[in-house]
Structure 1
Amino acid sequence: MSATPDTETGQPGPADQPVVKKLSTLDRFLAVWILAAMAVGLLAGRLIPGLGEALNAIAVDGISLPIALGLLIMMYPVLAKVRYDRLDTVTGDRRLLTTSLILNWVLGPALMFALAWLLLPDLPEYRTGLIIVGLARCIAMVIIWNDLACGDREAGAVLVAINSIFQVVAFAGLGWFYLSVLPGWLGLPQADLNISAWQIAKSVLIFLGIPLVAGYLTRRFGEKAKGRAWYEEKLIPRIGPFALYGLLFTIVVLFALQGDAITSQPLDVARIALPLLAYFAIMWLGSLALGRAVGLGYERSATLAFTAAGNNFELAIAVAIATFGVTSGQALAGVVGPLIEVPVLVALVYVSLALRKRWWGARAAADH
């Protein structure tokens, strides 16, 4: 799905071809594989006694090793594709950077706060859990959604890095504001969130730092040893499919971990899912339209939309469990987050590709 228009020659490129025809078999049936992975995970978690407890036990300092492994395998190939020598073209795009910061750190948390209070006024634990999800801006899985939607890889790497920095600096303060200060101003019940900067930094270092360094070193030494042509034409096609393998493995593990809770509390899951569905739809479509309105091309608008709509579920779940306990409603809300986000953002990948031609023209002019 990573083919892009041939903007250098001006000739019709792969992006001008019908989307489905240019996809590999793996990409073409992506939705089928993901639905199958969700079903396998749910069935395994429901039917295999003690599976969830066993998976939860494979952890180091609160980090689930199976989930960490899946995410690292998923992110590494995509970050190995990034042209790090082009990052200056992204850091110089003030429209993109400013818009992303506003969407991620002003509008996103505020929207989730509003939706949580509007749709879950009688469920304080789930409401708090969703607000935490809204504060944890995406740094991991968004990399693959952006790549599948033919977004700008370099822009994705930069925006994710910026989100990581802001996450370490601002997460605890925003949690205090949205759970204690703002509800107090509005005359609403207040909650507390105690989270250390190290807990946040640990999530960033593991789920972004490791694959980012690995991807950078792979490109640097791979190109140095055998040249860019070999790297792009030989190595990348070999390691590329592992991104989807890692994604599917992560989905199976996530659903297996919570299969029993999800199937035994369907009404609660449905209540939690409603504000999440509204959030993902509003943030993604609004961000894509805003990118177009401020003059960004398709690739960077798609990157803007996915980085604004996605959330760092690893951090949200870890914070909810550490603060409120593994069996709390806040933890369940955190877990339901990625279970809704994965199928919704997969669907939005296809919506994004469909809107590319309608909103930006047949060849979806590249950003500069």
Structure 2
Amino acid sequence: MRFGNPELWKSLSFFDRFLAVFVFLAMVLGILIGNFANEQVQRHLNGGAKWGNVSIPLLIGLLIMIWPPLSKVEWECLPRLLKSRDLWVHLTVSFVLNWLVSPFIMLSLAWVTLPESALERERVGVVLVGVARCVAMVLVWNGIAQGDRDYCAILVVSNSILQMVLFAPYALLFANILCRSPTLTTPTLHLDYGNVAQSVGIYLGIPLVAGGLTRWIVCTCLLPSRRAKFYHIWGHVSGIGLLYVITVLFANQGKHIITHIGRIFRICVPLLLYFIIVWSITFFTFWRIRTTSWGRTYSSYEKAVTQAFTAGSNNFELAIAVAVASFGADAPEVLAATMGPLVEVPVLLLLSYLALYLRDRLNWSTKSKTGSDL
């Protein structure tokens, strides 16, 4: 198979090229640690210093995961982009996809694939992943697929702001009402609004401020050539934080994972279906409407792929953080949320290359043509 840029794979760093493998290895390492050193893990993770109901070591890792990607957002482009009518149309489309469509698709898939009362808490964890809209990793997938970088940046900013306002009530609605079975009696399944709001402020607000400040310092103090080198190195910090957090969480869940391996595979099913379905619907809808009067103005490959990855990916870092803060690090909800990166990373990486293939394979002309578009 030949992608649009045959040198793209070679241009990726070693870490980015094998990120999915590293995630898998981190999970395996965590499971091994959890099974062979479970007592020490529980003592240090659950018995040590905490802030916001999360252990300090885990808290640091969660913050580091989100900070570097947000520092890459081109905040300085906001004034120019906000003057574009095209932008506001795409912001509206993004809002509909991210907040009115995608969470309910995840909810439906969670109920269809995890309907049993015994999987109630896992279902909540899966739905939390669907409610946490992507603000970080979409920058990676959009870059690989060569989407519109400026639009991706503004959609990331928009989703970041919207999550500060909407995530807490959405999490309460989905976890307390829409995910509940008629036989639910366990009070620990309830999300506390204060905990959720605090988690959003800690795990999203702090990285947002830090990311904007980092961007300002870098643009002020470094030449463009130095900036590129800095961001190249700085970007790996987020990946290291991700691997660290996954290792810690799976070490804490190690024994539970081995004991309930069947549940792990069950949890992966709705996540896998979600990423593929939402991405495909968005991408191919933009492709199909390109010859309409609306599509000729607002639809292009770059815009389509940006919207597809924004709608089809999730902020699993925030989902994990909220699950840990609300239910505890060893809860089934956390186990379900931590499956997000295992499924999302390899699936969306493959979809990134599929997008490049379809860019050349499909006809993206906005002029109506007879016959096949392929």
What range describes the TM-score normalised by the shorter chain of this pair?
Answer: 0.7 to 0.9
Aligned ranges 1:228-239 → 2 under 5 Å: 228-232=224-228, 234-239=229-234
Q: Please report how far the alpha carbon of residue 109 of structure 1 lies from its aligned counterpart in structure 2 after TM superposition.
A: 1.7
On the 8 A contact 1:297/1:360 being kept in 2, the answer is no
Aligned to 2:98: 104
Q: Please report how far the alpha carbon of residue 143 of structure 1 lies from its aligned counterpart in structure 2 after TM superposition.
A: 4.3
Aligned to 1:166: 162
Q: Please report how far the alpha carbon of residue 261 of structure 1 lies from its aligned counterpart in structure 2 after TM superposition.
A: 1.6
CA distance in 2, matches of 1:320, 1:238: 30
Q: Does 1:115 align with 2:109?
A: yes
Superposition RMSD on alpha carbons, in Å? Answer: 3.6
Alignment-mate amino acid for residue 33 of structure 1: F
CA distance in 2, matches of 1:319, 1:74: 14
CA distance in 1, matches of 2:222, 2:207: 22
Aligned to 1:48: 37
TM-score by length of 1: 0.76
Gap change, CA 1:110 and 1:28, over 3 Å in 2? closer
CA distance in 1, matches of 2:183, 2:133: 22
Q: Please report how far the alpha carbon of residue 271 of structure 1 lies from its aligned counterpart in structure 2 after TM superposition.
A: 1.7
CA distance in 1, matches of 2:338, 2:71: 29
On the 8 A contact 2:134/2:315 being kept in 1, the answer is yes
Aligned to 1:255: 250
Gap change, CA 1:251 and 1:89, over 3 Å in 2? farther
Alignment-mate amino acid for residue 169 of structure 1: V
Q: Please report how far the alpha carbon of residue 228 of structure 1 lies from its aligned counterpart in structure 2 after TM superposition.
A: 3.4
On the 8 A contact 1:52/1:258 being kept in 2, the answer is no
Aligned to 1:70: 61
Aligned to 1:241: 236
Alignment-mate amino acid for residue 101 of structure 1: F
Give structure 2 stretches of 5+ with no counterpart: 290-294, 365-374
Alignment partner of 1:281 out of 257, 276, 280:
276
Aligned to 2:310: 307
Deviations 1:194-244 (A, max 9, x none): 545543343333333333333333332333334434433x43344343333
CA distance in 2, matches of 1:280, 1:253: 25
Alignment-mate amino acid for residue 336 of structure 2: A
Aligned to 1:6: none
TM-score by length of 2: 0.75
On the 8 A contact 2:145/2:355 being kept in 1, the answer is yes
Q: Does 1:200 align with 2:206?
A: no
Alignment-mate amino acid for residue 202 of structure 2: I
CA distance in 1, matches of 2:97, 2:104: 10
Gap change, CA 1:286 and 1:334, over 3 Å in 2? same
- Give the total of aligned pairs: 345
Q: Please report how far the alpha carbon of residue 141 of structure 1 lies from its aligned counterpart in structure 2 after TM superposition.
A: 4.2
Gap change, CA 1:133 and 1:189, over 3 Å in 2? farther
Report which stretch shifted further, 119-128 or 257-266.
Answer: 119-128
On the 8 A contact 1:136/1:167 being kept in 2, the answer is yes
Gap change, CA 1:29 and 1:338, over 3 Å in 2? closer
On the 8 A contact 2:132/2:318 being kept in 1, the answer is yes
Partner SS, residue 182 of structure 2: coil
Q: Please report how far the alpha carbon of residue 97 of structure 1 lies from its aligned counterpart in structure 2 after TM superposition.
A: 0.9
Q: Does 1:132 align with 2:128?
A: yes
Gap change, CA 1:360 and 1:309, over 3 Å in 2? same
Alignment partner of 1:189 out of 170, 182, 193:
182
Q: Please report how far the alpha carbon of residue 262 of structure 1 lies from its aligned counterpart in structure 2 after TM superposition.
A: 1.5
Deviations 1:118-177 (A, max 9, x none): 222223343344333322323344444444544445434433333343334334544565
Alignment partner of 1:35 out of 24, 39, 44:
24
On the 8 A contact 2:110/2:123 being kept in 1, the answer is yes
Alignment-mate amino acid for residue 118 of structure 1: V
Q: Please report how far the alpha carbon of residue 358 of structure 1 lies from its aligned counterpart in structure 2 after TM superposition.
A: 3.3
On the 8 A contact 2:22/2:243 being kept in 1, the answer is yes
Give structure 1 stretches of 5+ with no counterpart: 1-14, 362-368
Aligned to 1:265: 260
CA distance in 2, matches of 1:42, 1:323: 23
CA distance in 2, matches of 1:178, 1:300: 30
Aligned to 1:345: 348
On the 8 A contact 1:298/1:360 being kept in 2, the answer is no
CA distance in 2, matches of 1:180, 1:222: 43
Report which stretch shifted further, 131-140 or 292-301.
Answer: 292-301
On the 8 A contact 1:140/1:208 being kept in 2, the answer is no
On the 8 A contact 1:138/1:160 being kept in 2, the answer is yes
Partner SS, residue 50 of structure 1: helix
On the 8 A contact 1:283/1:305 being kept in 2, the answer is yes
Partner SS, residue 139 of structure 1: coil
Gap change, CA 1:46 and 1:150, over 3 Å in 2? farther
Aligned to 2:368: none
Report which stretch shifted further, 15-24 or 109-118.
Answer: 15-24
CA distance in 2, matches of 1:90, 1:194: 40
Percent identity among equivalent residues?
Answer: 42
